[in-house]
């Protein structure tokens, strides 16, 4: 094992940690947490909106039925009036009956108009509530869209940085033998992302523990191509 290969392994390690940090940032944008929260608020608003809109639609249907009935009564009144004043009916009894008809239809018309007013009063607060909820929803949707754009921009930025780090990592890894790289990757997976560490003043900079004098002596006398491992944490030690 040549020393440059181990030095390069430490460079690989640095780039791997940088890539880990970038991945972590990419997965934990505060903007994403805020967006998740907004999406929940929008879903809750949609549920409220559906409930209020259903009540409002029910009132609208009732209003429509009353208005249809009103049109039909008005048409009947117009028809009887037309016959009354056409001169075609002359028998007084028949004329009286027709006048009584018109009077009765007008009472019915007035009742329906009262019902329509009541329904319109019932409808007004529901219309206001639907409009308020729709306005709130539109504001949240705008905020969510802005966050999505911000997240997309941040993600693109991090992807560029990650690509740069990956290239640098690949370049550094070229001189590291495959078996050492595999050993490093296994250790990295088991040891919180750090598989190789420098030995500094008799201390492993991976676990920060001091090696015993006899262990240090043993490592010092190892062949140059032997890989030394920390006897505390098992990481590859770079002398
Ligand atoms: Zn260690």
d(CA 98, CA 102): 6
Q: What is the domain extent for residue 188?
A: 178-238
- What is the CA(129)–ligand 1 centre distance, in A? 65
Let me know if residue 94 belongs to a domain. Answer: yes
Ligand 1 ion: Cβ-proximal residues, 5 Å cutoff: 204, 206-207, 230, 232-233
- What is the CA(104)–ligand 1 centre distance, in A? 101
Same-domain check for residues 152 and 185:
no
Same-domain check for residues 155 and 182:
no
237: β partners = 197, 228
d(CA 230, CA 191): 12
Structural domain count, the chain: 2
For 148-206, write each residue's pLDDT tens digit: 999 999 999 999 999 999 999 999 999 999 999 999 999 999 999 999 999 999 999 99
- What is the CA(211)–ligand 1 centre distance, in A? 8
Whether 67 contacts 116, CB under 8 Å? yes
- What is the CA(188)–ligand 1 centre distance, in A? 12
Instruction: Please give the pLDDT value at position 80.
Output: 94
- What is the CA(208)–ligand 1 centre distance, in A? 6
Same-domain check for residues 127 and 189:
no
- What is the CA(166)–ligand 1 centre distance, in A? 26
Instruction: Please give the pLDDT value at position 120.
Output: 97
Instruction: Please give the pLDDT value at position 12.
Output: 98
For 90-122, write each residue's pLDDT tens digit: 899 999 999 999 999 999 999 999 999 999 999
Q: Can you say whether residue 202 is alpha, beta or left, with left for phi > 0 and alpha for psi between -120 and 50 degrees? A: left
Mean pLDDT, rounded, for 9-18: 97
d(CA 72, CA 65): 11
Mean pLDDT, rounded, for 25-47: 97
**Which CATH number is 66's domain given?**
1.10.287.1490
What 8-state DSSP symbol labels residue 87?
S
For 23-33, write each residue's pLDDT tens digit: 999 999 999 99
- What is the CA(9)–ligand 1 centre distance, in A? 16
H or E element at residue 130: helix 92-173
Helix axes 92-173, 30-84, angle to 10 degrees: 160
Let me know if residue 17 belongs to a domain. Answer: no
Sign of CA dihedral 76, 78, 83, 85: positive
Instruction: Please give the pLDDT value at position 93.
Output: 94
- What is the CA(180)–ligand 1 centre distance, in A? 17
d(CA 153, CA 222): 51
Instruction: Please give the pLDDT value at position 2.
Output: 53
- What is the CA(13)–ligand 1 centre distance, in A? 15
Same-domain check for residues 153 and 201:
no
- What is the CA(235)–ligand 1 centre distance, in A? 6
Whether 13 contacts 181, CB under 8 Å? no
Same-domain check for residues 140 and 41:
yes
Domain boundary among 111, 128, 159: 159
Same-domain check for residues 94 and 52:
yes
- What is the CA(206)–ligand 1 centre distance, in A? 5
Number of helices followed by number of strands (H, E) in the chain: 5, 4
């Amino acid at each position: 094992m040549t020393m440059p290969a181990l030095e390069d392994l430490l460079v690989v390690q640095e780039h791997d940690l940088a890539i880990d940090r970038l991945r972590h940032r990419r997965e934990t944008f505060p903007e994403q947490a805020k967006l998740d929260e907004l999406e929940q608020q929008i879903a809750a608003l949609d549920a409220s909106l559906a409930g209020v809109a259903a009540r409002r639609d029910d009132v609208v249907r009732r209003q429509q039925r009353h208005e249809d009935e009103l049109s039909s009564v008005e048409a009947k009144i117009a028809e009887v009036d037309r016959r009354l004043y056409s001169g075609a009916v002359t028998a007084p009894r028949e004329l009286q009956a027709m006048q009584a008809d018109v009077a009765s239809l007008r009472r019915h018309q007035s009742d329906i108009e009262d019902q329509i007013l009541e329904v319109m009063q019932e409808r007004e607060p529901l219309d206001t509530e639907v409009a308020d909820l729709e306005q709130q929803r539109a504001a949240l949707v705008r905020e969510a869209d802005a966050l999505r754009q911000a997240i997309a921009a941040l993600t693109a930025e991090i992807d560029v940085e990650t690509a740069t780090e990956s290239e640098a990592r690949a370049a550094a890894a070229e001189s590291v033998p495959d078996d050492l790289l595999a050993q490093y990757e296994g250790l990295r997976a088991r040891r919180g992302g750090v598989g190789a560490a420098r030995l500094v003043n008799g201390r492993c900079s991976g676990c920060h523990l001091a090696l015993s004098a006899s262990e240090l002596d043993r490592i010092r006398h190892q062949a140059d191509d032997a890989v030394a491992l920390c006897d505390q944490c098992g990481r590859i030690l770079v002398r």
